[in-house]
Amino acid sequence: MINDMARIMNDLQVVTSTLSPEVDMQKLEVRLEEIMSNYEIHRKSEKDIENDIQDKIELYLSARKVEGLAKETIRGYTGELNRFAKFINKPVVQITTSDIRKYLASNENNMASTVDRKLSAIKTFFSWLVTEELLLRDPSTKIKPPKKPKRLPKGLSVEELEVVRESCISRRERAMMEVMYSTGCRLSEVQRMKIDDINMQEMNMRVIGKGDKERIVYISFKCLHHVKGYLNIRKDDCEQLFVTERRPIRAMTNRAIERSVDQIEQRTKLSKKLTPHTFRHTFGTLAMENGADLADVQQLMGHEDPSTTLVYAHVSENRKKQAHKKYHMQ
């Protein structure tokens, strides 16, 4: 087929190269008929077209790896796109907007945030295909993201934070909890932390956030005290800040950190769910409650979009009351 197309294009080039500026379309049509009579052309059936969706996904993921996309993001895209490919099971060129909508609606139990994440991965994939000229049109363009319910982040109150502190029974638990709260870091950022990233004198820490972007976060005196206490009992030479307690000593995984927080939660008996992200929410909420500037909180938390930080800008009834007394003109 490729050789036939090459011959057709070659013959057509020979014809068009001999044309004068004033083309006689009738003669051109006759000549094209003469050329095309040497070929038998038929439209491929759906079965004849190669199902290339998995190959295109692998090509896309390889390109994103080269671009330096974070491993966690690559892993997320891989899972989402593989599930999409299994559901659709047809060549990329044949995928329609309706196909994508059917996939997104295939599980009624999916929350809006889950559907939004799936759509985001699909949109990024098709956008890349069009940009790379591997596809002429993007079937996901017309699909709008679902409306997500606006929920306030569930952070801990000052009193609840103290309960959590008192529920930590090991130096590792306490140091980990203080680092997550003091820095407001994401789980993946905490998992990547290394001892050498800590500047004891400046009381700050270098972290690698989303998209492998580096930023500086700060730690409190209390946090520094417990981190030093944890490091003093360590007898290993592992460079990671938080490591396993059993040998071979190695960096804790994301899941291991989550399990450690789960164990703390079981002892607190709080009504709120305790996760690594709860401490991040607590950091953002309490910072805003104490009058921190929105732009400062955005930088500290590593948010690219200011609107992401706005979820922490809600204020308590007491703060609203005080603001009214302070700023209302009588």
pLDDT for 319 equals 60
Residue of 186, 192, 226, 281 with catalytic role: 186
Residue in the structure block whose two tokens are 């609840």: 160
User: Does 247 have pLDDT greater than 80?
Assistant: yes
71 as an active site residue: the answer is no
Kindly name the residue from 194, 206, 272, 277 that is annotated as catalytic. 277
Distance CA 141, CA 148 (A): 19
**pLDDT at site 87:** 94
Closest Cα partner for 277 from 183, 212, 159, 146?
A: 183
- Fold of the domain built from segment(s) 158-322: hpI Integrase; Chain A (1.10.443)
Band (pLDDT 50/70/90 cuts) for residue 316 is low
Does 137 qualify as catalytic in the annotation? no
pLDDT for 22 equals: 63
* Residue 259 DSSP SS3: helix
Please determine, for residue 199, whether its predicted confidence score (pLDDT) is greater than 70.
Answer: yes
Query: How many angstroms separate the first and last alpha carbons of the chain?
Result: 84
Reported as a single tens digit per residue, the pLDDT across 79-88 is 999 999 999 9
Q: What's the pLDDT band for 310 if we cut at 50, 70, 90?
A: confident
Share of the chain above pLDDT 90, in %: 50
Helices (H), the chain: 2-17, 25-36, 53-66, 71-88, 97-104, 112-131, 158-167, 171-183, 187-192, 221-232, 254-268, 276-289, 294-301, 306-309, 317-327
Please give the CATH topology (third level) of the domain spanning 53-131. DNA polymerase; domain 1 (1.10.150)
Quick check: is 324 catalytic? no
Active site residue 280: yes
pLDDT of residue 49: 61
| Residue 186 among the catalytic residues | yes
Q: Which residue has the higher pLDDT, 320 or 73?
A: 73
Give me the pLDDT at residue 73, please. 83
Distance CA 68, CA 213 (A): 10
Mean pLDDT value across the chain: 84
Q: Which residue has the higher pLDDT, 306 or 143?
A: 143
Mean pLDDT, residues 166-175? 96
pLDDT of residue 17: 59
- CB–CB of 203/219 below 8 Å? yes
Query: Which among 210, 215, 234, 314 is annotated as catalytic?
Result: 210
Give Cβ neighbours of residue 158 (< 8 Å, ≥ 6 apart): 286
How much is the pLDDT for 304? 79
Judge whether 15 and 31 are in contact, CB under 8 Å.
Answer: yes
Lowest mean pLDDT across 260-264, 294-298, 305-309, 313-317: 313-317
